[in-house]
Amino acid sequence: MQLPVADARTVRSLSMALLRRYRRRLVVVVTLQALAAVAALAVPWLLGDLVDAVAQGTTLAHVNSVGLTIVGVVVVQAVITRFAQRGAMILGEEVFARLREDFLLAVTHLPLSTVERAGTGDLLGRTTNDIDRVQWTVRFGVPRLLVTSATILLTLAAAVLASPLVALALLVAVPLITVATRRYLRTATPAYLVNSEAYARLNGVLTESVEQAATVDALGLGRRRRARTDAAVARAWDTEVVTLRMRVVLFFWLGLSFTLPIVATLLWGAWLLDAGLVTLGAVTTVALYAMQVRSPVDELLFWIDELQVANASLARLFGVTLVEPDRSPSGAVPADDHVVAAGVRYAYREGQDVLHGVDLDLVPGERLAVVGPSGAGKSTLGRMLAGIHPPGGGSVTVGGVPLVDLPEEELRSHVALVTQEHHVFVGTVEDNLRLARAGASEEEMRAALAAVDALEWVDRLPEGARTEVGSGGTDLTPAQAQQLALARLVLLDPHTLVLDEATSLLDPRAARHLERSLSAVLSGRTVVAIAHRLHTAHDADRVAVVEGGRIVELGSHDELVSRGGEYAALWHSWQQE
């Protein structure tokens, strides 16, 4: 399964809505570009008049005057162009920043079940390759498209004003450009979409192989992974060949069309001049315009090609916003903090349930440990209890209200999940903490860090909690990154916590110490700890043993050990390790 791709109408609609936010700035930039183009058009006009003046006999003073005027026009053009380019570049940066913010907002609110079904490659390709392609076009292409479009239109208008008869020669290339461009545009967007999908698949294959290298080695999957990588590279290469052929054909015909207007203007102008219908100056002016318009037309067509690449990427980026939400807030308010799972079923693939009618009544304030073999469904159950996934059957409620009926912000104030996966965001340690609570004070953040045994190493950083971390900043160890995630949880302050092997990256002694520290902080809250270290279960009020997507045992540590069932076997096995 892949994430949706927006159709052409949706891309146009959303793109225009984005540009309308900057309507005034866009008008200013276009006006400046038009003034710069007008200034550039004055030079051929002045030269044409000078040719006619020389042919009719003129003075040196007049020649000098025209020369000084040309110099002045060039200076004015340079100044206007400088401000026009600066305004266009700033506008491009602001438009891209808004586009990126909107995209990230959509990504962070995607249903996790949808992301998992789509796989990491598709989303990774959209957040890297597609963003890069759009970034290039928005930052540099939009300004240049404005410049070249204004220049071409004004140049053609000036040529017609100079001599309508001679300017007719410029139309000779229109049929060739029209046919070549229309043929290209019909195939470009579909081809670039296939190209983007191929690179997304390649990204996914490489990411999976690198991140799970230890598993690949342990299971002897190296040959199979190399074969998948070779196939993905070959697919990406094939799509590159297709798009390259399109560009070669397009640029061949366009290159020919650039030369035709100049040749036609000279031949047609010579005939008109011989017939006495135009002056030499008019032919010179239009010929100069024909040469001058070649560069902006060439650049415009280059950016039209880049625009097709960006258009395909935009369709993929906007497609993320088309994903239907997996929950609909009802406005109901929970009556209390009581979390209950009733008949919960869930399947990552239709018809293949991983949870089979699970019932679990969490006692407010209790510590529940969830244990069981790998693949039993422990993490899936944790996600159900945290409201990450809507159940495929049954319900999970808090205070009588299904978790999927609560808005995301309110849901996280009730139930929160911390997994063994972690991420350090670019910014300071304080920035990372304030993701949980934007208005947290320095004292509150230090208390949260202290609660998870992180305050000591944070104070040792070059600038303490104001030290830049993440990509480009100070590197944190996996254990430190996980402590930072746990500190965010303390600041979030929900009444029910789901810890999915949240201390797995720490060594056993450090994990034990951290869990003891957390114990004081989490007092009075309901805690569901999914753990592979059974000392967590030993300290819990109750233990739920999950096997095959079902809770097969539920009770206190002592009760389950005395029963001699599955938990007792796990406990005795763990003690012997």
How many whole angstroms separate alpha carbon 316 and alpha carbon 314? Answer: 5
Please report the DSSP string for 192-244 in residue order: HHHHHHHHHHHHHHHHHHHHTHHHHHHTT-HHHHHHHHHHHHHHHHHHHHHHH
H or E element at residue 305: helix 280-320
176 token code pair = 């060739």
How many whole angstroms separate alpha carbon 183 and alpha carbon 177? Answer: 10
Look at the block and give the residue holding tokens 């939009």: 142
539 token code pair = 């300290």
Q: What is the pLDDT of residue 542?
A: 92
β-partners of residue 496 are 415, 526
Q: What is the pLDDT of residue 43?
A: 67
pLDDT in tens, 426-474: 899 999 999 888 888 999 999 888 888 888 899 999 999 999 998 788 8
H or E element at residue 106: helix 60-108
User: How high does pLDDT run on average in the chain?
Assistant: 81
Using DSSP, state whether 565 is helix, strand or coil: coil
Residue of 184, 153, 185, 146 lying closest to 170 (CA atoms): 153
How many whole angstroms separate alpha carbon 197 and alpha carbon 235? Answer: 10
How many whole angstroms separate alpha carbon 261 and alpha carbon 170? Answer: 5
How many whole angstroms separate alpha carbon 432 and alpha carbon 100? Answer: 20
Angle between helices 8-20 and 60-108 (to 10 degrees): 110
Q: Which amino acid is at 36?
A: A
Q: What is the pLDDT of residue 404?
A: 85
420 token code pair = 């063994």
Mode of pairing for the β-strands spanning 393-398 and 352-361: unpaired
Low-confidence ranges of the chain (pLDDT < 70): 1-2, 40-52, 54-59, 62-63, 112-113, 116-121, 143, 420-421, 502-521, 532-533, 575-577
Please report the DSSP string for 327-368 in residue order: --------SSS-EEEEEEEEEEETTEEEEEEEEEEPPTT-EE
pLDDT in tens, 473-523: 888 887 788 788 888 888 888 888 888 876 555 555 555 655 655 665 677
Q: What is the pLDDT of residue 254?
A: 75
Q: What is the pLDDT of residue 281?
A: 78
The C-alpha R_g of the chain, in whole angstroms, comes to 34
Q: What is the pLDDT of residue 47?
A: 67
How many whole angstroms separate alpha carbon 571 and alpha carbon 13? Answer: 60
Residues in the chain: 577
The CA–CA distances, whole Å, from 344 to 268, 311, 402 equal 82, 43, 12
Burial-class residue 101 by CB neighbours within 10 Å (0-12, 13-18, 19+). exposed
Using DSSP, state whether 522 is helix, strand or coil: coil
Q: What is the pTM of this model?
A: 0.62
Residue of 294, 397, 414 lying closest to 340 (CA atoms): 397
How many whole angstroms separate alpha carbon 263 and alpha carbon 259? Answer: 6
The torsion angles phi and psi of 369, rounded to 5 degrees, stand at: -100, 135
Q: What is the pLDDT of residue 256?
A: 76
CB neighbour list of residue 447: distance below 8 Å, 6 or more residues apart: 490
Burial-class residue 247 by CB neighbours within 10 Å (0-12, 13-18, 19+). middle
